[in-house]
Amino acid sequence: MDDSSPDQIIKEIPGFVRVYKDGRFLKLSGTEVVPPGLDLSTNVQSKDVVISHDTPLSVRLYVPNNANPDGKKLPLLIYYHGGGFVIETASSPKYQNFLNLVASESNVVIVSVDYRTAPQYPVPACYQDSWDAIMWTMQHVKGNGPESWLNEYPDYGNVFMAGDSAGANIVHHMAIRIGSEDPGRVINLRGIMLLNPYFWGKDRIGSEEEHPWKSALGDVWMFAHPGTSGLDDPLINPDMDPKVSDLGCSRVLVCVAEKDILKDRGLYYKDILAKNGWSGEIEVVEDKGEDHVFFLFYPSGENAIALRKRMCTFINHANGN
C-alpha cells in the first residue's frame, strides 16, 4: 500500500485499537452492545439514564425485581467497566450479564458508569466522568433526585464501588478523591472491590518480565493518555501517588488471577497501602489457573461463581447482614 494512503495503519494495539494515517481509528473489540431490560434468568431490571448530553455521560442502573418489598433499602454498588480506558462500554453484553448476576446474588442496586474512552476522549476524561457519576448519584440521598429508582431503592449508608481492570484503577482513584475531598463523609463508602486491577509502572516486578504482554500494557496506557508523564504516572502506578493513603473507605477486596500479567501489581497494592499508612482492612485473593477478567468470559465457571460470592460476602458483611 502507498505510504501516502489514508488507509495506512500507523499504530495497532492487538485486541484494542487500530489507527490510520488520516486519523480514523477502529476499536478491535468491546464494541458489541445490548439494550437494558428485564433479565428473566436473574429477575433483575435494568435501564439507561443520561446524566449529561454535553459530555456525553450515562449510567446503566440495575435493580433486583424483588427489591424493597418491606421497605428495606438495598446496598448501592457503583461499578466501572474495564477495557484499558479504550474499549468496552456499560452496554457490553459481558457487563450486562455479569452485573445482572451480581445484582441478583448480592441483592444490590447497581449504577454502572458509561464513562468516555480514548482515543476520542483521552484520559483523564474517564476519571472526571466517573466522579461526575458519583456526584449525580449522591443527589438522590434525600430521596428527591432526578431518577426514581435511586430515590426509592438504595441505602446510602451502604455505598460500595467495584470495577475490573481499568475500571478497578478508576475505583481506586475515586476512593482517594472521596477520602480527600469528602471530609464530612457525605458519601458513606463502606468498601471497594478491585477485580484484576490495571496498575503498571516503569520497572518490571514479579513475573512481568517474562510475559509476552509486557510492552502492550505500557502501550495501552500511553495511547489512552497521550499527556501522561509516563509509566510511573500516579494515575497508573499507585506506588508513586502521594495521596494513596487518603483512600476513603475502611475495607478493600483485591481479586487477582494467577495467569494475569497484572497479578503482581494487584498483590503489591496491599504493601503500597500498608507502607503509606492506610489503616483499613484489605483482603487479597488469587484465583488459581485463571487469566485476566476470566469471570466476564466464563461466568458459570467455578472460580467465577466463587468471585461473585466473595463480592456478595464483602457487601453484606459490611452491611451487617
pTM of the predicted structure, to 2 decimals: 0.95
Assigned CATH for 31-318: 3.40.50.1820
What is the reported pLDDT for 213? 83
Catalytic member of 164, 165, 239, 287: 165
Active site residue 165: yes
Catalytic member of 39, 241, 260, 287: 260
What is the reported pLDDT for 174? 98
- Can you give the pLDDT of all 321 residues of the chain as single tens digits? 455 688 899 899 898 989 999 989 999 999 999 999 999 999 999 999 999 999 999 999 999 987 766 778 999 999 999 999 999 999 999 999 999 999 999 999 999 999 999 999 999 999 999 999 999 999 999 999 999 999 999 999 999 999 999 999 999 999 999 999 876 668 999 999 999 999 999 999 999 998 888 899 999 999 999 999 999 999 999 999 999 999 999 999 999 999 999 999 999 999 999 999 999 999 999 999 999 999 999 999 999 999 999 999 999 985 544
Q: Bridge partners of 150?
A: none
What is the reported pLDDT for 184? 67
Q: What is the 3-state secondary structure (H, E, C) of the chain?
A: CCCCCCCCEEEEECCCEEEECCCCEEECCCCCCCCCCEECCCCEEEEEEEEECCCCEEEEEEEECCCCCCCCCEEEEEEECCCCCCCCCCCCHHHHHHHHHHHHHHCCEEEEEECCCCCCCCCCHHHHHHHHHHHHHHHHCCCCCCCHHHHHCEEEEEEEEEEECHHHHHHHHHHHHHHHHCCCCCCCEEEEEEECCCCCCCCCCCCHHHCCCHHHHHHHHHHHCCCCCCCCCCCCCHHHCCCHHHCCCCEEEEEEECCCCCHHHHHHHHHHHHHCCCCCEEEEEEECCCCCCHHHHCCCCHHHHHHHHHHHHHHHHHCCC
**Domain ranges across the chain:** 1-30, 31-318
Active site residue 317: no
